[in-house]
Structure 1
Amino acid sequence: MALLTLDLHPVFRSDRAIDTALRQTLFKAAATGVDTVQIIPGKGTGQLKKRVLAVLAQKHLRKLYARVETDPTNAGRILVHLR
């Protein structure tokens, strides 16, 4: 199982940087055959996690993955399982 990790802590203040980082990581994962992308928005207030889930819900990105899973043991982690 190949895993690619994206840590959003360095770019959490910029919505544009968040969107770009998410898209680049998902497209890279899909192109290289990675099974799972681990996104780390951190725990915080949950606003960044909501932003990430909203971006992942976009129609053109939904085509890239089979499901999104929030880690029940770690609120600051999202797993995206690619097709």
Structure 2
Amino acid sequence: MTLLTLDLHPIFRNQRAIDLALRDVIFKAVRTGETVVEIIPGKGSGRLRSQVMAFLGQKHIRKLYVRVDSGTANTGRIQVHFKGR
């Protein structure tokens, strides 16, 4: 299993930077054949996590991945799974 990680802590106040970082990591995973992207919004208030889930729920993004696991044991991370090559 290959894994890309995106930690949103450094850019959590910049909505545009968050959207660009999410888009970049998703398209990079598709382009390079990565099987899992781990996005770390942190535990906090849940607002950033909601933003990530809304981004992933967009129709044109949703068709790029197979499933999303939002860890029950660790709610501060979201794993996006892609079809392997």
Give the TM-score of the pair, scaled to structure 2: 0.95
Higher percent of residues as strand: 1
Query: Quick one: percent identity of the two aligned structures?
Result: 60
> What's the RMSD between the two structures over aligned residues?
0.6
The residue aligned with 2:5 is 5
CA positional deviation for 1:59: 0.8
CA positional deviation for 1:63: 1.2
The residue aligned with 1:44 is 44
1:77 and 2:77 are equivalent in the alignment: yes
Unmatched runs of 5 consecutive residues or more in structure 2:
none
CA positional deviation for 1:15: 1.0
Taking the aligned partners of 1:35 and 1:11, their CA distance within structure 2 comes to 24
Taking the aligned partners of 1:79 and 1:29, their CA distance within structure 2 comes to 12
Q: Secondary structure at the match of 1:65?
A: coil
Quick one: which amino acid aligns to residue 33 of structure 1? G
How many residue pairs are counted as aligned between the two chains? 83
Unmatched runs of 5 consecutive residues or more in structure 1:
none
Quick one: which amino acid aligns to residue 5 of structure 2? T
Give the TM-score of the pair, scaled to structure 1: 0.97
Quick one: which amino acid aligns to residue 72 of structure 1? T
Deviation >2 Å, runs of 4+ = none
Q: Secondary structure at the match of 1:39?
A: strand
